[in-house]
Amino acid sequence: MDQELRSVGLGADGSVSWSDLAALPAAREYCRQFTLRHEENFSVISWFLPASVRQHFCHLYAYCRGADDIADRVADPLMSLNMLNWWQTRLEACYDGECTHPIFAALRETIGEYSLPRQPFLDLLTAFRRDQSQQEYDDFADLLAYCRCSANPVGRLILGLGRCASDGNIRWSDHICTGLQLINFCQDVSRDAMRGRIYIPRATREAFGYDARMWSAREFNPRFRNLMRFEVDRAESYLVAGRPLVHTVDPAFQLQIGLFLEGGLAVVRAIRRVNYDVWSTRPVIGRFGRLSILRRTLTRRYGLAQWIANFKPATHFAGK
């Protein structure tokens, strides 16, 4: 398994006893470096995370992104499934106190510190396994079931870090996470099609008269524009429905939740600006767009005073 893990950037020193507490500093550093290699939007978000949770956020990110890399970067679906099964056995062992990989050695600390349940971690693996065998979805209910495992667990884990996983907050978090997943599907229509995946439900495509031939030809026409307008509006409605979460979480987390939310809404606006032609253009948020997201978030004053009072540069990760 070590060779397969190295092929997706998850190799580790097999001579280290990762269950030993003495290995914890090395495990933390492994997760920090892994996270920095996969920056994406993390560098922006991490700057505003409370210093006390930045390191733990790295642990969660490393677990989630590691599993995602196994699902997406391994060419053979059967091998990917075998590796995901191995990843789950390592998770189960982690909850029992046994760790054979640095990500799980670090994750064990976070699970213990915040009493995180195992189900969100398992749900993510369920979604990644589904990606190995299911290329498209019959209807929106089927797609929502996928989102409940692929997106919502991430929000629930972040609520766990904030010690604010109440029933109401979980409900609003699920709305935001589902909305983010749905708008990402709209943004990545062309990219997913190249991988043989379709995340726009078949029933919705048929309702707008956009048939399989048009999809295969990547045909941009009024039917596709109307289809994508509907899907973008639907994603936006989920994001907006989750907005109350920003004001109910701990003030130290309000700015971060606001950034996630405004980031999703920025993608909504970006798709509309290209007139829904996501076949020829993948709408992205550039540097000025990210600054605009920050401005919008600060303008809404999402926990700004609390964040300023507790701010420490993100180059300093909190860790023992």
Q: What is the pLDDT of residue 284?
A: 82
The alpha-helical segments, DSSP class H, found in the chain are: 2-7, 24-37, 42-47, 51-73, 77-95, 102-114, 119-133, 140-150, 152-161, 167-187, 189-194, 202-207, 212-216, 222-241, 245-248, 251-273, 287-299, 304-310
CA-closest candidate to residue 95, choices 72, 75, 119, 73: 119
Determine the average pLDDT of the residues in 311-315.
53
- Given a contact cutoff of 8 angstroms between Cβ atoms, the answer to whether 200 and 146 are in contact is no
Asked whether 258 and 199 are in contact (CB, 8 A), the reply is no
Residues sharing a CB contact under 8 Å with residue 223, sequence separation 6 or more, in sequence order: 208, 209, 210, 214
Distance of alpha carbon 157 from alpha carbon 150, whole angstroms: 13
pLDDT above 80 for 127: yes
Q: What is the pTM of this model?
A: 0.88
Is residue 7 pLDDT above 90, yes or no?
no
Q: Which residue has the tokens 């990644």?
A: 128
Which bin fits 114, alpha (ψ -120 to 50), beta or left (φ > 0)? Answer: alpha
CA–CA dist 118, 310 (Å, integer): 30
Tens of pLDDT, residues 264-298: 999 999 999 999 999 999 998 776 666 666 666 66
Segment 115-128 shows an average pLDDT of 97
- What is the pLDDT at residue 295? 62
Q: How many residues does the chain have?
A: 320
Q: Determine which helix (DSSP H) or strand (DSSP E) holds 200, and give its type and residue range.
A: none
**Domains of the chain and any CATH numbers:** 18-132 (1.10.600.10), 134-309 (1.10.600.10)
